[in-house]
Amino acid sequence: MNEKRKIIFNQENSSASESKNSSGRDSLHQQETEEDQVYSLSLRPSRIEEFIGQQELKDNLQVALQAAQQRKEPIEHMLFSGPPGLGKTSLANIVANHMGARLTTTSGPSITRAGDLIGILTNLEHGDVLFIDEIHRMSKTVEEFLYPAMENFKIDFIVDKGPYAKTINFNLKPFTLIGATTRSGLLAAPLRDRFGIFYHLGFYQPEELSTIVTKSAEKLNVTIMPEASLEIARRARGTPRIANRLLRRVRDYAQVKTSGETIGKHVVDEAMGTLRIDVAGLDDLDRRLMQVVNDHYKGGPVGIETLAATLNEELDTIVDVVEPYLLKIGFLNRTPRGRELTDAAVQHILVNKV
């Protein structure tokens, strides 16, 4: 394995991704923050054996990695889909690390011109891994340059116009493109068809998240009781990123408000109370959404655009981040006429008033 593997990270691209839809978000619904990025570098697994959860995905990925290594060729282009914070970026790092390759990271919204993409692609060495987060938000004009690059490792770039137009051919070195998306349905069919490997990441079980919290606590030099890590896991919305974020908030609370060095369940309960995160892992935005559907629209159905306007929230925030978990725990239904609350959600509202 190449110990000198480098990770190239486009800071401007990261900032553009983080700022998307950032206004008005509650603590659990924000994009990955600078703090998350800093801690992710230390908490993120570097080998597939260290990656917790997604067992079926891990088994299939391990076979693909070993086969590519035995053939001594770059692994096929792959697409990771699923809600934010489930480990798509971590898996891209693991793939690059396993293949001993250099990892270049960028995001779909930040590649605004064909020249940006060509610059990135022509700088890739043989076997390098290019990771494009939010690839579904890449402009169609730029996206079309990826088709020949992924298929034939070539780019045809047209300069000038009319009778002066000429085509410049770029031959690329074989590389691996890893795309990450929260909405795979928005990917154009020609782009989707050029990925050889597809993986969908699902929400984690509390027991898996508890293991992640325990391991992260060790790396942060925090002593936490098993029941406390499980309680954080139950409130983490099935998402490792949120579990690690809540662990850091509980650590801060314990450091300031308690004198004990060990974090127990009662400390987690108190910290979650100050963050207004209830026993189901829902925060103010989740409860506000349910309250609006219940009070303003009599439990639904209500259109998603109407709901976003009423909440004064970005549509993508609701669709990509809020809804998936509410659907998973059975608090919300999607119908042809709109969103509807379930009886369980109405009962939760009564117990947990905003």
Confirm whether 2 is domain-assigned: no
Number of structural domains (the chain) is: 3
Determine the pLDDT at residue 277.
93
SS3 state at 246: helix
Q: Which of 182, 200, 218 is the last residue of a domain?
A: 200
Are 219 and 79 in the same domain? no
Residues annotated as part of the active site: 88-89, 133, 182, 241
Q: Are residues 119 and 253 in the same domain?
A: no
Q: Provide the CATH number for the domain around residue 248.
A: 1.10.8.60
Mean predicted confidence (pLDDT) in 206-214 = 95
Q: Which residues pair with 178 in a beta bridge?
A: 78, 131
| Close Cβ partners of 218 (under 8 Å, ≥ 6 residues apart) | none
Q: Give the burial class of 330: count Cβ atoms within 10 A of its Cβ; 0-12 exposed, 13-18 middle, 19 or more buried.
A: exposed
Using DSSP, state whether 154 is helix, strand or coil.
strand
Beta strands in the chain (DSSP E): 7-9, 78-81, 103-107, 129-133, 154-159, 166-171, 176-181, 197-200, 223-224, 262-263, 332-335, 338-341
181 and 226 assigned to the same domain: no
Q: Has residue 250 been placed in a domain?
A: yes
Inside any domain, residue 237: yes
Report yes or no on 128 lying in a domain: yes
Is the confidence at residue 2, as pLDDT, over 50? no
Cis amide leading into 190 (omega within 30): no
Does 61 share its domain with 87? yes
With tokens 């053939």, the residue in question is 71
Domain containing residue 123: CATH number: 3.40.50.300
The predicted-structure confidence for 94-121, as pLDDT tens digits, reads as follows 999 999 999 999 999 999 888 888 889 9
Question: 147 and 105 share a domain?
Answer: yes
Is residue 1 assigned to a domain? no
Q: What is the pLDDT of residue 259?
A: 72
- End position of a domain, from candidates 252, 275, 298: 275
Predicted confidence band of residue 38 (pLDDT cuts 50, 70, 90): low
Domain that holds residue 97: 7-200
Q: What are phi and psi of 158, to 5 degrees?
A: -95, 125
The verdict on 182 and 239 lying in the same domain is no
Both 157 and 295 in a single domain?
no
Same domain, 258 and 307: no
310 with 170, same domain: the answer is no
d(CA 242, CA 39): 12
Based on the fold, state whether residues 81 and 162 are members of the same structural domain. yes
Same-domain status, 269 and 303:
no
What's the token pair of residue 113? 């011109």
Shared-domain flag, residues 105 and 174: yes
> Residue 322 belongs to a domain with what CATH number?
1.10.10.10
Q: Residue 339: inside a domain, yes or no?
A: yes
The residue from 275, 298, 318 where one domain ends is: 275
Could you tell me which of 258, 199, 268 has the C-alpha nearest to residue 236? 268
If one compares 239 and 257, the residue with the highest pLDDT of the two is: 239
CA distance linking residue 74 with residue 172, whole number of Å: 13
